[in-house]
Amino acid sequence: MLHIYDTLSRTKVPFKPVEAGRVRMYVCGMTVYDYCHLGHARMLVGFDVVQRWLRASGLQVDYVRNITDIDDKIIRRAVQTGRRISEVTSFFIDAMHADERALGVQTPDHEPRATGHIGDMLDIIGKLEDKGLAYRAEDGDVNFAVRGFPGYGKLSGKSLDDLRAGERVAVASGKRDPLDFVLWKSAKPEEPDDTKWPSAYGMGRPGWHIECSAMSKSLLGLPLDIHGGGPDLKFPHHENEIAQTEGAFGGRLANVWMHCGPLMVDADKMSKSLNNFRTIRQTIALGEPDDDKADYTSNPREAEMVRFFIVRNHYRSPQNYTPDNLADAQNALDRLYQALANVTADGQGVDWNEPQAQAFRAAMNDDFNTSGAVAALFQLAAEANKTGSARTAGQLKALAGLLGLLQQDPQTYLRTATRYKAGTQPQAAAASLDDNAIQALIDARAAAKRERNFAEADRIRSVLREAGIELEDKPGGATNWRRV
């Protein structure tokens, strides 16, 4: 039985959907004012694996991941660049989708945009006002009265006394309490016209937190089976979502809360505010960070390396980013592909009676323990290399497919250049020899061996190794090669 760590109860709980056989999962997505970085990739890939395993377990999944397309940062970007809000958001939504395709992230069932649910947000604000949980401030904003909601702080474990004014929440003159947060922002004269909507409270726009309350309730109903997001959303975003939704409708917003762990750079979380981030497209060598024409098909080897780097760690654990860690992930993924290059998979799908498949399933049912599942893959790779069993290779490929891995042609994958090598900073991938030149040298080496000119054969191997090409002689005289 699947068990999931619930952030709210701080325990692993058996997963029982509200409706048998159906899972309603909502994950907070991107605020689209810039390119996605590796910290975002961890969230995107992490919850992609979650929904894949739920579906593989025979469950019908309604997966909603929203897009925040109205926000202070988006407005600043639009003003700075002289573009309309919709132009900014459309540009970065397209870039995000390209990143997701490169990483093998499947499209969610629904991808609502906040601007499409303004009416739903205003309905919730009206309900909160009727219940005395929302008030109109002198500055025209509508705020949530935090001290009127008894359960505030239950997700993050923060008490109201701990949340002193000025530490976590900026004090605004229109608030009755510095902990109160905005539900509806009154329009300012200097703000662009396309950031304003009419309401009973005057022209304005929604606060960030109310957006997810409206979209999740509208598309999935209450309670959600799973609500997920990045580590920095636990407080205040998800705490505020709980207060708004449960304050307006009663009951529970979600039965299980999931939060992935942070991606660290040294001792700090990777984030744009700290300027220590690396974009997905920079990491996969798909183009410059501001290049919207980057080729997202040019290096599938490095794209899958990034996915593997994320998947082989448990989603809740902190994960450290360094180029060497990416190189280590590249080398490990190469070993799995090498097993499939050595033994042709039979393509019969997963045999769940096989011991490693059972270990894989047990790991995934233990709070989506992908590190344990990947360990089962390496056991299968070792067995395939030892026995040459097409069935074992098929099992390896089929199980890896449940994680979105090992679905490329092994020879094509291994012959694609990579920039990531242990002990070095990422460099331009070596391309001194194309595939035809490599094959010509391999043929020349084979001829030298037939003529028993082993010195020449060794020289050619050395030339290829210097060019980053590793050879593997197979029984019967064939030679495989790969880039390292």
How far apart are the C-alpha atoms of 132 and 223, rounded to whole Å?
Answer: 23
Does 272 carry a binding-site annotation?
A: yes
Does residue 384 contact residue 377 with C-beta atoms inside 8 Å? no
Rounded CA gap, 369 and 388, in Å? 28
Both tokens assigned to 69: 């397309």
**Among positive and negative, which fits the CA dihedral 152, 245, 43, 9?**
positive
- CA-nearest of 404, 391, 381 to 335 is 381
Q: Which residue is it, tokens 């058996």? A: 14
- Count CA atoms within 13 Å of residue 471 on its CB side: 23
- SS3 percent helix, strand, coil of the chain, rounded to 5, is 45, 15, 40
* Residues linked to residue 181 through DSSP beta bridges, in sequence order: 144
* Sign of the alpha-carbon dihedral angle for 297, 302, 305, 307: negative
166 contact partners, CB below 8 Å, separation of at least 6: 178
Which residues partner with 19 through β-bridges?
22
Residue holding tokens 């061996």?
A: 449
The residue with tokens 């304005």 is 204
Q: Which residues sit opposite 228 in a β-bridge?
A: 27, 258
In the chain, the amino acid numbered 15 is F
Q: Report the alpha-carbon distance of residue 162 to residue 305 in Å, rounded.
A: 42
Length of the chain: 484
237 is in an annotated binding site: yes
36 annotated ligand binder: no
d(CA 223, CA 215): 13
φ/ψ (deg, to 5) at 101: -60, -40
CA distance 24 to 38: 26
Does 241 show up as a binding residue in the annotation?
Answer: yes
Going by C-alpha positions, the residue among 342, 339, 338, 309 that lies closest to residue 326 is 309
Q: How far apart are CA 76 and CA 73, in angstroms?
A: 5
Q: Which of 232, 196, 229 has its CA nearest to residue 215?
A: 229
- Separation of alpha carbons 137 and 184, rounded Å: 10
Q: Which residues are annotated as a binding site?
A: 28, 212, 237, 241, 272
Q: Which residues are annotated as a binding site for Zn(2+)?
A: 28, 212, 237, 241
Q: Which residues are annotated as a binding site for ATP?
A: 272
